[in-house]
Amino acid sequence: MTYLRPEIRHPESKRNALGYTRQYYEGALSTLCAGCGHDSVSGAIVQACFELAIEPHRVAKLSGIGCSSKTPTYFLGNSHGFNAVHGRMPSVATGANLANRDLIYLGISGDGDTASIGMGQFVHAVRRNLNITYIVMNNGCYGLTKGQDSATADEGSKNKSGHVNPFHSIDLCGLAIELGATFVARSFSGDKAQLVPLIKAALSHQGFAFLDVLSPCVTFNNNPGSTKSYDYVREHMEVTAALDYVPEKAAISADYGEGEVCAVTLHDGSQVILRKLANDWYPSDRIAAMKYLHETRQRGEILTGILYLEATGRDLHAMLNTHRRPLNALSEEDLCPGSAALERINAESR
Amino acid sequence: MVSLVNDFVIRFANVNGTGSASANTLFAKSIFRMGVPVTPKNIFPSNIQGLPTWYEVRVNERGYLGRRAGIDLLVGVNPQSMPNDVRSVRPGGYFMYDSSRPLDKSLIRDDIHYLGIPMILLCQKHFEVPRVQQLLKNMVYVGALTALLDIEMDVVKQLVIEQFKNKEKLVASNHLALELGFQYAREHYECPLPIRVQRRNNVGDRIMMTGNTACALGALYGGATVAAWYPITPSTSVVDAFEKYAHRLRTDPQTGEKKFAIVQAEDELAALGIVIGAMWNGARAFTATSGPGLSLMNEFLGLAYFAEIPAVLIDVQRGGPSTGMPTRTQQSDLLLAAYASHGDTKHPLLFPATPTECFEMTADAFDLAERLQTPVIVMTDLDLGMNEHLTAPLRWDDKRRYDRGKVLTAEALERIQNWGRYLDLDGDGIPYRTIPGTHPTKGAFFTRGSSKDEYARYTEDGEAYRRNMDRLLKKWHTARDLVHPPEFFQPKPQHPEAIVFFGTSTYAAIEAIDELRAIGIELDAMRLRAFPFCQAVYDFIEQHERVYVVEQNRDAQMRSLLLIELGVSPQKLIPVLHYDGLPITAASIVGQIVKHHPAAAEWLSTNGHSHVLT
C-alpha cells in the first residue's frame, strides 16, 4: 500500500519556541495497520517534542524489532534513529548514552521486545538508571508474526483466534519499580490528554523514565475477551493522579485544593504537578506504589498515570563519574597519554 | 650430564591460591634481569583454590621463546600432583621437594636427582604465623634455586624490594626466607648445578608484559573511551588493565572525573551492543572476550557489518568447543570470527604474535574499524594474553593522529548536496557517515539491520539489496590493502617449500625453522598478520610447491580460510596442527614436517629431537 501525505499545511500553523511547526517533528508515513494504537503513541511523541521545543537533532531515537520498533521511522524525521536487533535496544542505547551524555535518548520497544527476548537487557538498563525515556507500546501480542501471545498478555485473556492465555503476565511497571527505576508510568494510546504530559515529563526526567503504554493491536488483539482491547482498557482504567507538566518552576496556582496536590521538581527545573491524589499514594513512595499496583490489579483494574517518581536519583554517568564533556567530544590530547607515559610503563616492565 | 647453561626448562608444581605465583614470577624476572631470555607460562586450573597449578619457565639464551617439552628441574610442592610431577622430569633431571617430611618411596626414581629442602621446617623455625610460614615457603625454594642455579642474589633481593615498595617488614621477612633456602642449598648440595644461569646481555631493551595488558594499553592509546565486557577467562585482565591505566592516565586530576567509562555488562550480547551504540555515536569503544562470548556476539556482529558501524573486539582464544578448556590455549575461533553471524558476512581479523603487536594492532584496530566502518577483531589467545612475554618495548609516535574515517562534520554537511549514508562516492565501497547531533538539519538518517537503499531508506527491492551487498564486497576488497601485510622471513622465495604461521605459533615456528635447517630441510616462511589476505599472501603460496600451515586447532581453520578466500590448491597446503591446550612446541612442528622428508625423519628417529641444535 502506498500513501501520499499532503504537503500543504496551514501557513499560520502554530510554531514553538524554536520556530518549528508540529510538522517538523513528524516522520515518514506509518505503514502500520489503520487504527493501530502505536500511531497514536507516535503522535503523542511528536506533540510532546513539539511542545517541549526540543531540537530534533539533539534526540537519538532507538528501538528493537517488532511493530512498535518500526515507529521511530514515523516520528522525528530530523533525528538520528537506530533500529537495533530484537530485544537489544537497551545495550545500544547504553553505549550511545555513554558516548554522548548531552543528547536526549528515546527508546521505543514492544512487549515482545522488552518482556521476552529483551528482558535481560531491559532490567539491567533499569538498574543502571540509564538516562533515557523508554516507552513500551504494549499490546499483549506479537503483531508482525500474526498475533501470538506475548509475556504481558494477561492470564485468561482471549486472543482473536479464541485461544485463552494460561500464563501469568509480566507487569513491566511493577518490575521497573522493583528494580529501582526512577520514573515509572503507565498510560493508554487512546488517552492523549494523559499521554502527552507524561511523555514530556519523562523526556525531562534525568534517569530511567519508563512508560508502559497500552496500545491495542487492532488486527490481532482487539476482540471481546482480550484485556488489551480498546474497549477493555477504556472501561478498566484507574488513574493515580491527574498530571500537569509545567516547563519551568512556577508557583502552584490556587485552584488546586489543599492536600490534593503534589509537585515534583525535575532535574532541569521543570515540574510535574499531580492533582487529586489517590488515598495513601505519593509518587516517591516505592512501597505504596507497589501496593497500589497490586490492589488495582486484583480488582481487575489497570492503574495508569505516574506510578513512581524519584527526581534526584543518580544516573549511570553519575555512578561512573564520567567527565562532564561528552566522551565523543574528547580530543586526542585528552585521550592519548603520549610516548613519555609509555616509556614509564616500559620501564616498569623491565 | 651435559652442561645446560642458560638452556633449560624448570617447572613449579603448586597448589593454586597459595601465593606461589608471585614467588615464581620473581624467579623468572630475576633471570630476565640477568640478561637471559625467559619464557614463563602459567598452566592453571579453572578453579580458585586447592587444585594443582604449574608455572613453567624456559630459559634460553639463544632467544627461542616457544614452549619446550621436557622438564630439567621440577619444584614439586604439591602432594596431589607429585607422582605425575616426578614422572615428568626428564632422565638426568632434578626434582626439588619439601624435605620437612620424608618423600614416599614410590616417588623415588633412580634416573633423576633429588633436591630436598626442608622448606616448611625452616619457616616454622623463623616465622610465627602459620599463614606467613606457608607463604614464605615459596620464597625458601626461590632462595634455594638462587644458590643451585647460580642466580645473582642481589638481583632477586632487589626485585623483592621493588615488589613490596615501602613495606619494610615484608621486605625483611622475604629476604630472610630467601637466605634460608640459599644457605641450606649451599650447605647440602654442590652449587651450582650443571643447569645454571650466567649473566648475558641478550634481552636488550625488551620488556616483560602480558598480551592482555598490551591490548589494554593499545585501546587506551587508540583513544577508546567506552569499554563494555562480561567477565570470561582468559580475557578478563584486558579490561582490568584498561581500568588500571585509564584510572592513572585519564582521570581529571582536579575533579576526579573520568575520561572513560567501563561497563560490566549483563552478558556478551549486551557488551557488544554497548560498543556498537558508543561507536555509532562517535566514541571509540571495545570489548574483550573469548570463544563463548564471541559465539553470543554473532547477532550483533551481523548488525554492525550490515549497518556499517565500527566496533573493536579482542578475542583472547581458549580451548573450545563449548566451555572446552577454559584455562588452556588454542587458535580455534578463526572460522567463527571470520564469518560470524548469519547471511553473507566477513570481518577483518588481526593476528598479533607478541605483546608489542597486541599494543600496536589494538590501537590500529580502532583506525581500521572507523576507516572501514565495520567490526575488527584482534585475535589473541590465552598463551599470549595471560603469560608474560619477552617483547620489544611499546612505542608511540606522538605525531600520529587517529584516523576517524569518513565522518562528516557540520561544515562538510553544509557543503555536500547529495549525501546518502550508503552512497559509494569514492569507489572504494566505503560510504560517508554522520554522528548524531552534528548538524541541526542535515545528516540525520535511520540506522538499521534490514535492507536499505543508498539513502538509508528501508527497502525490499532486490536490486537495491544486491547493490548494497556488492558494495560491501567492494569494501571488503578495499580492506585487503588496509590491514596488516604478512611478514616475510626472506627477501624473496628461495626454496620450493614454505611454512606459514601466525599468532603465538610464531615462537615455536621460528625455532622449528632453525631446527629443520639443521637437519637439511630448508623452508621459506611467512607470518600472517591479518584477514582478509592481501595479494602478497596469494603470491607467496603460488610461488611454492608445498606450504605447511601451522596452527593450534584440530580442523586447520587458517588453512580453510586460505583455501576459501584465495582458491589455492588444497593439495598444496599441508596442515601442521597442535591442539592439546598447551602452547605449541618446535618439536611438534618438526615432527610433523619431517614426515614429508623420509631422510630427515630417519635421522631424527635415530638421534632424537634434543640433539638437533646441539
B569 and B469, same structural domain?
Answer: no
* Pair type for strands B113-117 and B89-98: parallel
Q: How many domains does chain B have?
A: 4
DSSP-derived letter for residue B517 is H
Model confidence pLDDT, tens digit, residues A10-34:
777 899 999 999 999 999 999 999 9
pLDDT at B613: 72
Q: Which grid cell sits at A137? A: 507500546
B20 assigned to some structural domain: yes
**Separation CA A254–CA A262 (nearest Å):** 13
Is a pLDDT exceeding 90 seen at residue B417? no
Residue A5 has pLDDT above 70, yes or no: no
| Chain B neighbors of A56, CB-CB under 8 A | 440, 444
Q: Which of A271-275, B165-169, B344-348 has the highest mean pLDDT?
A: B344-348
Spatial CB neighbours of B1, under 8 Å, sequence gap ≥ 6: B92, B194
pLDDT at A37 over 50: yes
Spatial separation of the C-alpha atoms in residues B543 and B540, rounded to whole Å: 5
Query: Nine-digit cell at B448?
Result: 538499521
A vs B: CB pairs below 8 A: 218
Residues of B in contact with A328 (CB under 8 A): 225, 278, 281-283, 435
Which of B391, B422, B450 is where one domain is finished? B391
Residue B400 lies in a domain: no
Question: In chain B, what residues touch A321 (CB-CB under 8 Å)?
Answer: 256-258
* Domain ranges for chain A: 22-328
Mean pLDDT, range B590-606, rounded to an integer = 92
Q: What's the CA gap between B182 and B140, in Å, rounded? A: 7
Q: How far is A343 from chain B (nearest CA, A)?
A: 8
B390 interface with A at CB cutoff 8 Å: no
Helices assigned H by DSSP within A31-88: 37-52, 67-70
Checking if the pLDDT of A214 tops 80, the result is yes
Closest to A327 (Cβ–Cβ): which among B217, B225, B435?
A: B225
The CATH number linked to B371 is 3.40.50.970
Question: Within a domain: residue B403?
Answer: no
Interface residue B267 vs chain A (CB under 8 A): yes
B396 in a domain, yes or no? no
3-state SS class at B312: strand
pLDDT attached to residue B610: 73
The rounded distance, in Å, linking the Cα atoms of B326 and B318 is 6
If asked whether residues B125 and B166 sit together in one domain, one would say: yes
Above 80 in pLDDT, residue A250? no
pLDDT band for position B40 (cuts 50, 70, 90): very high
Q: Is B447 on the interface with A (CB under 8 A)?
A: yes
Residue B18 confidence class, pLDDT cut points 50, 70, 90: confident
What gap in Å lies between CA A299 and CA B220, rounded to an integer?
A: 57
Q: pLDDT band for A82, please (50, 70, 90 cuts).
A: very high
Same-domain pairing of B435 and B311:
no
Give residue-wise pLDDT tens across range A103-159. 999 999 999 999 999 999 999 999 999 999 999 999 999 999 999 999 999 999 999
| Grid cell digits, residue A22 | 508540529
Cβ–Cβ of A349/B436 closer than 8 Å?
no
Q: Specify whether the CB–CB gap between B43 and B53 falls below 8 A.
A: yes
Closest CA to B310 of B337, B334, B277, B341: B277
**Residue to test with chain A: of B158, B266, B367, B414, most A Cβ within 10 A:** B266
Same domain, B275 and B380: yes
Residues B565-590: b if buried by 16+ CB within 10 A, e if exposed: bbebeeebbbbbbbbebbbbbbbbbb
Taking CB atoms and an 8 Å cutoff, what residues of chain A touch B210?
none
Query: Distance, in angstroms, between B579 CA and closest chain A CA?
Result: 31
User: Is the domain of B349 the same as that of B461?
Assistant: no
**B240 and B374 part of one domain:** yes
Pairing of strands B311-317, A59-63: unpaired
**Cα(B107)–Cα(A172) distance, rounded to whole angstroms?**
64
pLDDT of residue A6: 61
Q: Does residue B185 sit in the same domain as residue B214?
A: no
Give the chain B residue nearest A92 (alpha carbons). Answer: B277
In whole numbers, what is the pLDDT of chain A averaged over residues? Answer: 93
Checking if the pLDDT of A1 tops 50, the result is no
Residue B397 falls inside a structural domain: no
Please check the confidence at residue A251 and state whether its pLDDT lies above 60. Answer: no
Residues B188 and B332 in one domain: no
Tens-digit pLDDT profile for residues B516-533: 999 999 999 999 999 999
CA atoms within 13 A of residue A207's CA, in its CB half-sphere: 23
Domain of residue B20, CATH code: 3.40.920.10
**Helix or strand or coil: residue B93?**
strand
Q: What are phi and psi of B114, to 5 degrees?
A: -110, 135
Of residues B259, B265, B441, nearest to A323 (C-beta): B259
Q: Is residue B158 part of a domain?
A: yes
State what percent of residues in chain A have pLDDT above 90.
86
Mean pLDDT across chain B, nearest whole number?
A: 96
Q: Do B13 and B137 belong together in one domain?
A: yes
pLDDT of B435-466, one tens digit each?
999 999 999 999 999 999 999 999 999 999 99
pLDDT of B418 reads: 86
pLDDT of A84 higher than 70: yes
Q: What pLDDT sits at residue B293?
A: 98
- Please tell me which of the candidates A91, A323, A334 has its beta carbon nearest to residue B274: A91
Domain that includes residue B80, residue range: 4-196
Q: How far is CA B180 from the centre of its chain?
A: 37
Which positions in chain A touch B421 (Cβ < 8 Å)? none
Question: Is the Cβ of B274 closer than 8 Å to some Cβ of chain A?
Answer: yes
B448 CB near a chain A CB, below 8 Å?
yes
With a pLDDT cut of 70, the percent of chain B lying above it is: 99
At B61, list the grid cell. 639464551
Q: What is the CATH superfamily name and number for domain A22-328?
A: Thiamin diphosphate (ThDP)-binding fold, Pyr/PP domains (3.40.50.970)
Residues of A in contact with B250 (CB under 8 A): 334-335, 337
Contact residues, chain A, for B262 at CB < 8 Å:
320
Work out the burial of residue B204: count CB atoms within 10 Å of its CB; fewer than 13 is exposed, 13-18 middle, 19 or more buried.
Answer: exposed
Q: Are residues B387 and B434 in the same domain?
A: no
Amino acid, single-letter form, for residue A311: A
Which of A71, A111, A62 minimizes the C-alpha distance to A91? A62
Say whether both B313 and B273 belong to one domain: yes
The answer to whether residues B257 and B130 belong to one domain is: no
Residue of A nearest to B282 (CA): A328
CA gap B153, A64 in Å, rounded: 63
